[in-house]
Amino acid sequence: MERTRWIFIGILALVVAIIGVSIGIGWLTKNNNASAGGLELERPQAITVRVLTALPVEPWVRSAAEQFNASNPMLEGVPIQVEILAMDGLTALGRWDRNEFGALEAGVDVANLTSAQEAALDDFPTVWIPDSRYLVELANASYKERLGRDVFLTDGQYRARPIAISLFTWGIYESRAKVLEAKYGEVSWRTIHDAAIAKGGWPELGGDGGWGYFKLVVPNPNKNAGGLAAMVAAAGEYYGRTDIGVADFTDPAFQTWLKELMGSVTDFSSASAYTAEDFALFGYSVGDGGQLLESDLLQNMQGILNRWDDPLKLYYPRYVTWFEFPFTIWVGPETSALEKNAALEFQKFLLAEEQQKAALVYGLRPANPNVPVDAIPESLFVKWSDRGVEPVVPRSDAMRNPDRDVLLALLRWFELNVAN
Amino acid sequence: MSERRSAANYQTWIIIGLALLIVACLCVGVVVWAGDALFGALPLPGRDEVKLPRSATADLTVAVSPGMAPTLNKLVETFNARGLKTPDNTPMVVRTLTLVPEEMVAQSLGQPAFQALAPDSSLWLSQIDRQWAAAQGAAEGDESVIPIGYRRFSNPVRYAVSPVVIAAWESVARELGWPERAVGWQDIQNKATADPNFKWNHPSTGHASGLLATLAEFYAGAGLTRGLTPEAATAQATLDYVRAVEATVRFYGEGEDAIVSRLAGEGRGFLDAFVTQEQLVIHWNQTQSGERLIALYPAEGTLWADHPLALLELGAPGETPLSDNQRRTYRALADYLTSPEAQQALLAAGYRPADMTLQLDAGNSPFLQNDAVDWRQPQTTLQIPDDSVVAVVQNVWWYTKRPTNVFLVVDTSGSMQGNKIDLTKLALHAFIDQIRGDRDQLGLIAFSTGVSVLRSMQPLDEAGREDMHNAVNRMSAEGNTALIDGVWEAYRLLQAQGDTEAINAIVVMTDGQENNSAHRMSELKEQWGAAQGPSVVIFTIAFGSNADEDVLRTMAEIGGGQYRRADETDIEELYKIISTYF
């Protein structure tokens, strides 16, 4: 009996010890979490990186995100998941400008948020990939006024970094391009303007009577950042320089010229944010040609051949607009340090050689200079080399990005003269 | 001794066993508790799902244009049959609501009964966008704000397209010059004005195809091919031209679907040509025997019905905001409609699918080896003027369209007492409000034991409209049902008026059996056949299940119109629909 009693006491002691150790571990864990402070008061179960992505790079970024998520990435022992939200850059800018994502007002302490306020931040974007760096500058300017500080950084580890680039090129249906080349010798905003105002339409230019009049394709500046870029590029060629200001856009002679040009667009109402897709879907019936993003044109080339039996021909303009798709991390307190660092992990993934090569399949030029545009056989630059696509962009002048005043002046002019 | 030892050993083992059992239980409990403290951050399967609120509905109602409704309804049925669920296990259910696109726009700006919409053209989305942005921008009142992103809708997806064409019987198409030369709007307009026997039709401007046909008339009238301005559209010469062409239109109506059902019912002689989507030509030739329809792609240009699907961003004051689950359902539906399975189904139905990997001239495509349609067409489109000009065209149309003389003939017998007469009054008010042409006239006849001409034919100017509303308000129900006499009187008055330029019509409604007329149906038929004056069309409405269907059907046949049924839930809507024929 004595031995039995000892065994019993031993077991009880063991139980007490186990309970004691467990309580100790639990207490320590709780205290460690509490000492982290801010939005990391409780260690998250997972980190979600919400990426607001411009439309031209969205298919590539979404595909990359799926691969990234499938690799079960972790940061400090916490799993990361990337969530993609497609939104045109200008539309996103409008929403930042009106603070529709719900950034906290200046002076609000994240530690004192109510649970409803915290919940409202659940969908706050961690990253914004707009079409162009100038959109980031405009959003920053807006928040500087509201909060007194930048919300997207231009230096440091969280600085905006381009993930791929593309430029605006002319895409013209080959049957029409031949007629234009025969008539004018080159494709430029000036010759397109002359074709657009030809009263007799295509027959006057030497084309088929059934084609109607020359129809230009330009994205709607209210729905697509490319529409604004097209108007800025047209102004650059009109004035013969890259730096365009508000005074240039308010010059009556230029406005008349631009209005004539825009008068050859058949339908701005149905021009969605996906202009190149529309261009392919409706073919030459809605547009003989237009200046669109090179990557969009390359992505839709096969569809055009499937449906219209008349391929596109690409021409590079003298004054070019580049989109560099900056990966821009929100640096405000609305997102945690863990989320910001997780965003950096995804950025690294996108800039790695494998994903930079994958971008070629979407007609995007790699941001990583070590990856040439013909790095893989599936590259659209290889596939459509006979359609006029150039691995190295011919000598050209890059347009300077418009500032906020130019942007507003252009949009108002468009509303008053074209959209209304 | 050995028995005692054995008993002691037995007792020891029982104690040890019990102790081990307690330890095991405690250990399991402690491990679970400590594990949660240590590893609670790690996601466990289904953990997130459990935390989501369960109350949010995943039901989504989609407003669909009438032309697309049959195809989309089938696709939605397949979608629902998949039994998809949201992460919180709520079933995703999609319902459809058939609405004329113009009505979708109006409802979208108020408090709609739907969360997503699928009109026949992006033109309607653009109108919603513009009107919503104007309202929101005006509220903001700050010129420095970037005016982009005020959207009433989001996530638009295009799942199929189809160009608007002139559908003509093959013999008519050949007469017009097909396939040797391109046929245009001008050819149809010339033919219609030169040949009084040529019967053509286009839907009202509430549909994309009707809007395009009217726009083409305005372009031709203004002598333009693009750049139509409000000034050019309202010039007298333009209006005269449009008025002359519109006078040749046989009747107006709900849309392509109504035309097709009448073609199927009344046969080849019903119309020579009509404006519709290319898809309908394919569908007709696939499902009907006899002479083929040919799609004529207008030489001056056409318009695309581009069938967008969009989600309404509900959440304005007083509105139930969209739930996350409804957004998930929308996304799932959009994914399904653009999936290879649905895209193939849309191609088989005669649409051009949005998936550009699907070729129109390969595989089982209905475009293959089919010269009634041409996948290389259209070569060009008409320029769509901006919304303000489109609005002018839509409004001006009411002043140029063929004038209408309509007699509303209403049953006020005893069986209509109570709710029925009240609902009928509401329906009549709606009808009166829908008739907006400045040359349109309306008359009102009530029948019960006898016939009362409450209002003879009168124009609907401001005073006339108010007077008509007052007359409707004063109606009361009692007595028998002199249905045939009511129609007889309306017909007599229209013949006496002798207006051959206008559409002359009678819209008659009853909820009961004919039992008190002095005239008989055979006399009515005789009268119709012998008439020398203007032709008169009859639309008949059977209200409820006791209505004299045989008499109403015969009347509609005699008058070359339509017989329709209604109950208390849709009588108002039916009157609205019939008003689109005028």
Question: Chain-centre distance of CA B206, in angstroms?
Answer: 9
Contact indicator for B441, B460 with CB cutoff of 8 Å = yes
Q: Which residues of chain B have pLDDT under 50?
A: 1-2, 32, 34-54, 140-145
Average pLDDT, stretch A129-152?
Answer: 88
Report how far apart the first and last C-alpha atoms of chain A are (Å, whole number).
Answer: 101
Residues of A in contact with B225 (CB under 8 A): 201, 212-213
Q: Higher confidence at residue A111 or residue B167?
A: B167
Q: What count of CB pairs under 8 Å joins A to B?
A: 188
- B134/chain A closest Cα distance in angstroms: 12
CA B562 to chain CA mean position, Å: 19
CATH number of B59-138+148-160+307-353: 3.40.190.10
Residue scoring higher pLDDT (A218 or A342):
A342
- Domain spanning B403-579 has what CATH number? 3.40.50.410
Instruction: Tell me what percent of the residues of chain A surpass a pLDDT of 90.
Output: 59
Domain with CATH 3.40.50.410 in chain B: 403-579
Cβ pair B300:A22 closer than 8 A: no
Q: Where in chain B is the domain with CATH 3.40.190.10?
A: 59-138+148-160+307-353, 163-304+371-397
Nearest residue, CB atoms, B384 vs list A77, A100, A266: A266
> Tokens at residue B25, please?
């239980």
Is A256's Cβ below 8 Å from some Cβ in B? no
Strand order in the sheet with B116-118: B93-98, B59-64, B116-118, B308-312, B153-158
Of 3.40.190.10, 3.40.50.300, 3.20.20.140, 3.30.2010.10, which CATH number belongs to B163-304+371-397? Answer: 3.40.190.10
Q: Give A26's contacts in chain B (Cβ within 8 Å).
A: 33-34, 37-38
Closest in B23, B34, B38 to A11, CB measured: B23
C-alpha distance from residue B338 to each of A210, A274, B256 (Å): 32, 15, 24
Which pLDDT score, from 0 to 100, does residue B3 have?
52
Contacts of B301 in chain A (CB under 8 A): 212, 285
Gap from A395 CA to chain B (nearest CA, Å): 34
Cα separation, A412 vs A417, in Å, equals 8
pLDDT in tens, B402-446: 789 999 999 999 999 999 999 999 999 989 998 887 789 999 999
d(CA B510, CA B506): 13
Q: What is the predicted pLDDT for the residue at A82?
A: 97
Nearest CA-CA partner of B458 in B430, B481, B483, B439: B439
**Closest residue in chain A to residue B367, using alpha carbons only:** A307
Q: Which residues of B touch A407 (CB under 8 A)?
A: 146
Are B252 and B435 within 8 A, CB to CB?
no
| Residues B106/B112/B117/B119 CA torsion (nearest 10 deg) | -20
A25, A90, A210 member nearest B148 (Cβ): A90
Q: Within 10 Å of residue B268's Cβ, how many Cβ atoms? A: 12
Q: In the block, which residue shows the tokens 């006849």?
A: B445
The answer, yes or no, to whether residue A130 has pLDDT greater than 60, is yes
Per-position b or e across B3-38, b if 16+ CB within 10 A of its CB: eeeeeeeeebeeeeeebeeeeeebeeebeeebeebe
Yes or no: say if B312 and B116 are a contact pair by the CB < 8 Å rule.
yes
Which domains, from first to last, does chain A contain?
Answer: 46-163+325-351 (3.40.190.10), 166-321+386-419 (3.40.190.10)
pLDDT of residue B43: 35
pTM of the prediction? 0.78
Predicted local distance difference test score (pLDDT) of residue A31: 44
Task: Please tell me the predicted confidence (pLDDT) of residue B150.
Answer: 59
To the nearest whole angstrom, how far is the Cα of B381 from the nearest Cα of chain A? 5
Q: In sequence order, what are the beta bridge partners of A83?
A: A50
Does residue B378 have a cis bond before it (omega within 30 degrees)?
Answer: yes
Q: Is A267 on the interface with B (CB under 8 A)?
A: yes
Residue B41 has a pLDDT of 37
Q: What average pLDDT score do residues A65-85 get?
A: 96
More confident residue, A91 or A5: A91
CA-based nearest residue in chain A for residue B147: A94
Share of chain A above pLDDT 70, in %: 89
User: What separation, in Å, do the N-terminal and C-terminal C-alpha atoms of chain B show?
Assistant: 116
Q: Range with the lowest mean pLDDT among A53-57, A382-386, B254-258?
A: B254-258
Q: How much is the mean pLDDT over chain A?
A: 87
Put simply, the answer to whether B8 touches A1 (Cβ < 8 Å) is yes
* Residue A36 clears pLDDT 50, i.e. is over it: no
Averaged over A149-161, what is the pLDDT? 88
Confidence at A414, pLDDT banded by 50, 70, 90 = confident
Whether pLDDT at A23 is above 80: no
User: Where residue A35 falls among pLDDT bands split at 50, 70, 90?
Assistant: very low
